[in-house]
């Protein structure tokens, strides 16, 4: 009897050991595995009372499905868009919802049980036919899986909630139940955009920014000319509602760069034109944007500074760098400070292919580290400088922060704190991911949170309405618990970077990119 019992214990111990030792990043693959379950307002429990002031809804966008029928996406960025939301009613209760964005792309794909021919960042396996590739090029990108945002419509005196990709077209969504309300192709004045070569005409940003002192927002529009002798252009755009926009400035460019985000200060917009340019001829042939962008490792980065009021453009250049996410920017007398999270090259983004992400050896082999970089523009001299400075930190990897977020009340103002994640913090496993707070004012307030076999995504900061400091608030972070193979939402004190509490969800959330907290949605 005793023998049998000890044998059982031994077996349990062996099993547990096996479970941990065989898979150095247990459960990580679930971030890149389809989950088709949809839920609406499922109550979730936090064991500890949440702060009473936490009221509103966190809506996040990201990946839901990585294949349809017999066909698969080659690159994770092409996964079908799926929204998730956490509603806090301010009485300690919380409700979770998750739903696919019912875009034309998603609907057509479901109806045919195959990936429908719309433009993707990379190819599909098996490949589209030449005819379908042409069709995809004409239709452009329809899969808005990157971000969510709120515009204000003055005419209707109401907010409009949208899902975005790096593209001019957007989808309007309901933040209450995550239903898709419909596609919007914004127009400029009377002119409705949407040429015959969808993607090439209408590159834009999944990261609009508020225009300080107004209820408008700012974005850009890049247009690649497919007609010889017609010039390529970049426009800085003022967003007056989901559909109504106006041009602040428009200028010709020799080549069109891939840009994902930009910065706005009180009076200026700052665009970093990565030396990563659209190769038009290859694009027309292959219809796969990531394969049709050429990286110039020896060229400087062109920087455009546009005056938001006059539209005046100043062009400068700085070090060669590939910037995905701008963190924040602000003016100080005759200078502008700009912080970005950049990479040495686009190799990182290219590496986020399904085949690489699903294979531990391959995914651990590429350089997964972003680098926080500060630039300073002298407005008297019209020059930009990369500010190389001693990071002054006890957490050296805090400089490798990716997916940056800030206290949005400090947008376009002098600020100190940036929150984000750092991949591969052990320099071995991509899946070794820490949640990091970096003090840009270098007063030793860097913090980091790491939980073994747990995989966090972007950390969104929600301020305490009675805040006493910039970091008085909580971070809401969806995390996949690789051991239990379940996702949960962590509520983290932004001050201490300790978990206040968490709530497990009835489903796994595949990797999510960006989200936002809307305090009016309860
Ligand atoms: C990281 O990789 C090493 C070597 O493969 C492995 O022993 C370790 O368990 C991994 N750690 C984590 C946290 O993923
Ligand atoms: C959540 O709160 C309960 C009750 O106070 C506590 O026992 C538990 O440790 C907390 N969980 C986390 C992850 O902080
Ligand atoms: C929260 O509780 C208060 C008082 O108990 C109640 O008046 C209010 O309606 C509740 N709010 C929600 C969203 O349930
Ligand atoms: C996709 O299908 C759903 C369900 O039939 C519908 O409500 C939605 O409007 C469709 N989307 C588009 C973009 O037509
Ligand atoms: C706009 O709506 C808000 C609340 O929805 C209301 O308080 C305000 O008076 C309205 N403004 C105008 C100009 O109608
Ligand atoms: C900007 O350049 C001008 C002219 O060279 C110089 O006088 C000024 O000190 C510079 N400002 C900053 C902030 O470096
Ligand atoms: Fe982004």
Q: Could you tell me the distance, in angstroms and rounded to a whole number, from the CA of residue 27 to the centre of ligand 2?
A: 23
| pLDDT score at 293 | 93
- Residues 339-368: pLDDT tens digits? 999 999 999 999 999 999 999 999 999 999
Domains in the chain: how many in total? 1
| Neighbour tally for 204: CB within 10 Å | 23
> Could you tell me which residues are beta bridge partners of residue 96?
42, 86
| pLDDT score at 191 | 62
Residue 496 falls in which region: left (phi positive, over 0), alpha (psi -120 to 50) or beta: alpha
Q: Could you tell me the distance, in angstroms and rounded to a whole number, from the CA of residue 380 to the centre of ligand 6?
A: 6
Distance separating alpha carbons of residues 419 and 421, to the nearest angstrom: 7
Q: Provide the whole-model pTM.
A: 0.93
Q: Atom 2 (ligand 2): residue with closest C-alpha?
A: 48
> Could you tell me which residues are beta bridge partners of residue 293?
278
Ligand nearest to the CA of 215: 5
Distance separating alpha carbons of residues 385 and 378, to the nearest angstrom: 8
Strand order in the sheet with 217-223: 191-192, 187-188, 244-253, 232-239, 217-223, 209-210
Q: In the structure encoding, which two tokens stand for residue 415, read together?
A: 């600020």
% of the chain surpassing 70 pLDDT:
94
* CA-closest candidate to residue 73, choices 359, 353, 282: 353
| pLDDT score at 25 | 77
The residue to mutate among 21, 22, 25, 480, having the most atoms of ligand 1 within 8 angstroms of its beta carbon, is: 25
Q: Is 75 annotated as a binding residue?
A: no
Q: Which residues contact 264 (CB under 8 A, 6 or more apart)?
A: 209, 210, 211, 212, 218, 270, 308, 329, 411, 412
| pLDDT score at 24 | 61
| pLDDT score at 15 | 61
Task: Provide the total of helices (H) and of strands (E) in the chain, helices listed first.
Answer: 8, 37
Q: Which residues contact 65 (CB under 8 A, 6 or more apart)?
A: 34, 35, 36, 79, 80, 82, 100
Which atom of ligand 2 is least distant from the CA of 502? 13
Q: What is the DSSP string of 312-327?
A: -EEEEEE---EEEEEE
Which atom of ligand 2 is least distant from the CA of 500? 14
Q: Are 207 and 260 in contact (CB under 8 A)?
A: yes
184 within ligand 3 shell (Cβ under 6 A): no
| pLDDT score at 138 | 87
| pLDDT score at 188 | 86
∠ Cα 288 293 298 (to 5°) = 165
Domain span including residue 382: 2-518
Distance separating alpha carbons of residues 327 and 406, to the nearest angstrom: 7
pLDDT in tens, the chain (522 residues): 556 677 777 766 666 555 544 456 789 999 999 999 999 999 999 988 888 899 999 999 999 999 999 999 999 999 999 999 999 999 888 999 999 999 999 999 999 999 999 999 999 999 999 999 999 988 889 999 999 999 999 999 999 999 999 999 999 999 999 999 999 989 887 665 555 455 567 899 999 999 999 999 999 999 988 777 788 999 999 999 999 999 999 999 999 999 999 999 999 999 999 999 998 888 888 888 888 999 999 999 999 999 999 999 999 999 999 999 999 999 999 999 999 999 999 999 999 999 999 999 999 999 999 999 999 999 999 999 999 988 899 999 999 999 999 999 999 999 999 999 999 999 999 999 999 999 999 999 999 999 999 999 999 999 999 999 999 999 999 999 999 999 999 999 999 999 999 999 999 999 999 999 999 999
Q: Is 369 annotated as a binding residue?
A: no
Strand pairing category for 402-405 and 417-422: antiparallel
| pLDDT score at 318 | 98
- Residues 77-100: pLDDT tens digits? 999 999 999 999 998 889 999 999
91 within ligand 3 shell (Cβ under 6 A): yes
| pLDDT score at 477 | 98
Q: In the structure encoding, which two tokens stand for residue 271, read together?
A: 């665009």
| pLDDT score at 220 | 97
Three-state DSSP state, 185: coil
Distance separating alpha carbons of residues 99 and 102, to the nearest angstrom: 9
Q: Is 260 annotated as a binding residue?
A: yes
Distance separating alpha carbons of residues 132 and 201, to the nearest angstrom: 19
């Amino acid at each position: 009897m005793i023998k049998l019992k000890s044998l059982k214990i031994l077996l349990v111990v062996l099993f547990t050991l096996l479970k941990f030792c065989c898979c150095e990043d247990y459960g990580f693959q679930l971030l890149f595995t389809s989950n088709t379950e949809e839920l609406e307002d499922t109550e979730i429990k936090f064991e500890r009372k949440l702060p009473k002031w936490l009221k509103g809804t966190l809506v996040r966008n990201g990946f839901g499905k990585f294949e349809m029928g017999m066909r698969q996406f080659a690159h994770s960025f092409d996964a079908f868009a799926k929204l998730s939301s956490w509603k806090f009613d301010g009485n300690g209760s919380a409700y979770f919802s998750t739903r696919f964005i019912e875009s034309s792309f998603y609907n057509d794909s479901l109806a045919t049980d195959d990936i429908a021919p719309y433009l993707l960042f990379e190819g599909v396996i098996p490949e589209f036919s030449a005819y379908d590739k042409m069709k995809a090029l004409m239709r452009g990108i329809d899969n808005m899986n990157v971000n969510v945002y709120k515009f204000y419509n003055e005419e209707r005196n109401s907010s409009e909630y949208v899902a975005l990709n790096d593209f001019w077209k957007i989808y309007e969504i309901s933040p209450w139940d995550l239903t898709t309300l419909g596609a919007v192709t914004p127009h400029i004045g009377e002119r409705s955009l949407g040429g015959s070569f969808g993607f090439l005409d209408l590159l834009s940003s999944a990261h609009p920014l508020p225009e300080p002192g107004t209820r408008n927002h700012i974005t850009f529009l890049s247009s690649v000319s497919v007609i010889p002798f017609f010039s390529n252009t970049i426009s800085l755009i003022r967003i007056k509602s989901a559909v109504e926009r106006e041009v602040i400035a428009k200028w010709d460019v020799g080549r069109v760069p891939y840009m994902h985000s930009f910065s706005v200060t009180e009076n200026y917009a700052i665009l970093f034109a990565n030396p990563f340019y659209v190769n038009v001829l290859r694009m027309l042939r292959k219809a796969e944007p990531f394969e049709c962008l050429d990286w110039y490792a020896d060229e400087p980065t062109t920087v455009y500074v546009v005056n938001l009021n006059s539209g005046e453009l100043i062009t400068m250049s700085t070090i060669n760098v590939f910037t995905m996410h701008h963190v924040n920017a602000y003016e100080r007398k005759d200078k502008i400070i700009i912080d970005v999270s950049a990479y040495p090259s686009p190799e990182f983004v290219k590496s986020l292919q399904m085949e690489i992400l699903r294979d531990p050896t391959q995914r651990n082999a590429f350089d997964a580290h972003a680098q926080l970089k500060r630039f300073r523009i002298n407005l008297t001299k019209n020059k930009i400088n990369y500010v190389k400075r001693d990071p002054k930190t006890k957490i050296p990897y805090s400089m490798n922060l990716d997916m940056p977020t800030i206290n949005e009340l400090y947008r376009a103002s002098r600020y100190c704190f940036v929150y984000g994640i750092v991949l591969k913090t052990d320099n071995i496993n991509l899946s070794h991911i820490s949640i990091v707070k970096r003090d840009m004012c270098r007063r030793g307030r860097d913090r980091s949170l790491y939980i073994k076999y747990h995989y966090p995504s972007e950390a969104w900061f929600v301020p305490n309405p009675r805040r006493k400091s910039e970091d008085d608030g909580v971070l809401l972070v969806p995390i996949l618990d690789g051991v239990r193979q379940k996702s949960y939402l962590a509520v983290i004190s932004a001050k201490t970077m300790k978990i206040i509490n968490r709530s497990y969800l009835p489903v796994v959330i595949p990797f999510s990119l960006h989200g936002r907290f809307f305090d009016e949605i309860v």
